[in-house]
């Protein structure tokens, strides 16, 4: 493929995002899980215009999500990954990335690049966090998206590190407890503590102690603390403040695991670079290099002990109290 055609495909990527987003929202792959269906059947089941739906399915088939035989469509392996019940489903992520508030924020990427400001805040007049607090439906979409992304990561993290050495594992900013549940399932003798905002942990389903609070102000004590996909949401001053809070809750022989991408060690540089760009647009945070995490930790009275790759894009960044 020549450079012009390749670049054309790249610049048309927004069309692919929306096409997959609509398929996920209509749950096309779920409907095809039981077997092939005609456009007429799918249109009736999704309350869609059959002619327009046929055009969407044609485009998605060209991308490899579906295959058509005698006007009946079936899932391919890509289409199966868009099913909500797939083992590594990305359906939640697909529904989230194409919805209004995020889509509009990305339209202001140029503003972020020119000014360094967060596009989401510029477009919506408030931070992503306050916006989600006012829009429960979008928060639900985000939670489902994080579940899609985190399921594979949780298994990779639990397989890469020995959590069984620690009596108590505290997941700070742990959401609904997906990672902590994976830890406790693998290590039955470990006590778990899930810590996040009261409104978040109220919906958690996990067999451990659940504590609501603000990680800028406090964190429960424990022998091992986890921060997964937390620090990349924040600029350096806020990230350091979170780390200092956790440091106060750590014993002298405690450990902290930061579970994030590393720009300088990324197994998939494209994905990590665009995850970093997403932080610029949405939260004002950033992905970081190993040395940048080392500096953040030093500012909070911690030191980087080691980095451990996992089978996902996320690294285990282990920190200990500064000596």
Task: State the catalytic residue, choosing from 21, 225, 232, 261.
Answer: 232
Check: CB of residue 204 under 8 Å from CB of residue 176: yes
Provide the residue range defining the domain that includes 173.
153-321
Strand partners of residue 209: 193
Same domain, 265 and 177: yes
Same domain, 73 and 157: no
Q: The tokens of 133 are what?
A: 């607090």
pTM of the model: 0.91
Mean pLDDT of all residues belonging to the chain: 94
Q: Tell me the pLDDT tens digit for each residue of 218-276.
A: 999 999 999 999 999 999 999 999 999 999 999 999 999 999 999 999 999 999 999 99
Taking the C-alpha atoms of residue 122 and residue 300, their distance in angstroms, rounded to an integer, is 30
Handedness of CA 258, 141, 285, 8 (dihedral sign): positive
pLDDT of residue 139: 84
CA–CA distance, 293 with 141 (Å, rounded to integer): 30
Give the count of domains, the chain.
2
- pLDDT value of residue 202: 84
Same domain, 228 and 313: yes
CATH code for position 17: 1.10.10.10
Domain co-membership, 158 together with 64: no
Is 21 an active-site residue?
Answer: no
Angle at 13 between CA 10 and CA 47, to 5 degrees: 160
Q: Is 314 left (phi over 0), alpha (psi -120 to 50) or beta?
A: beta
- pLDDT reported for residue 162: 97
Please say if the pLDDT value at position 205 is more than 80.
Answer: no
């Amino acid at each position: 493929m020549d450079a012009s055609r390749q670049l054309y495909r790249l610049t048309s990527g927004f069309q692919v995002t929306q096409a997959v987003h609509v398929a996920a929202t209509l749950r096309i792959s779920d409907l095809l899980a039981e077997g092939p269906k005609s456009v007429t059947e799918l249109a009736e089941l999704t309350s869609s215009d059959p002619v327009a739906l046929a055009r969407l399915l044609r485009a998605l088939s060209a991308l490899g999500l579906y295959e058509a035989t005698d006007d009946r469509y079936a899932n391919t392996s890509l289409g199966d990954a868009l099913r909500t019940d797939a083992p590594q489903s990305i359906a939640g992520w697909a529904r989230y990335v194409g919805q209004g508030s995020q889509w509009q924020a990305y339209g202001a990427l140029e503003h972020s690049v020119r000014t360094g400001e967060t596009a989401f805040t510029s477009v919506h007049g408030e931070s992503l966090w306050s916006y989600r607090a006012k829009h429960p439906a979008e928060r639900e979409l985000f939670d489902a998206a994080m579940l899609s992304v985190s399921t594979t990561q949780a298994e990779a993290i639990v397989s890469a590190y020995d959590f069984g050495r620690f009596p108590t594992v505290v997941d700070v900013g742990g959401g609904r407890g997906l990672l902590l549940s994976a830890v406790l399932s693998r290590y039955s003798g470990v006590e778990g503590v899930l810590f996040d905002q009261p409104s978040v942990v109220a919906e958690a389903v996990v067999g451990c102690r659940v504590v609501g609070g603000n990680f800028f102000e406090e964190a429960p004590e424990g022998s091992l603390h986890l921060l997964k996909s937390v620090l990349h949401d924040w600029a350096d001053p806020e990230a350091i403040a979170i780390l200092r809070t956790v440091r106060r809750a750590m014993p002298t022989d405690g450990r902290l695991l930061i579970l994030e991408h590393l720009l300088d060690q990324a197994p998939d540089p494209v994905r990590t670079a665009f995850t970093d760009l997403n932080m610029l647009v949405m939260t004002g945070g950033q992905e970081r290099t190993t040395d940048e995490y080392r500096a953040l930790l030093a500012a909070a009275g911690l030191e980087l002990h080691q980095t451990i790759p996992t089978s996902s894009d996320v690294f285990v960044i282990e920190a200990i109290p500064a000596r």
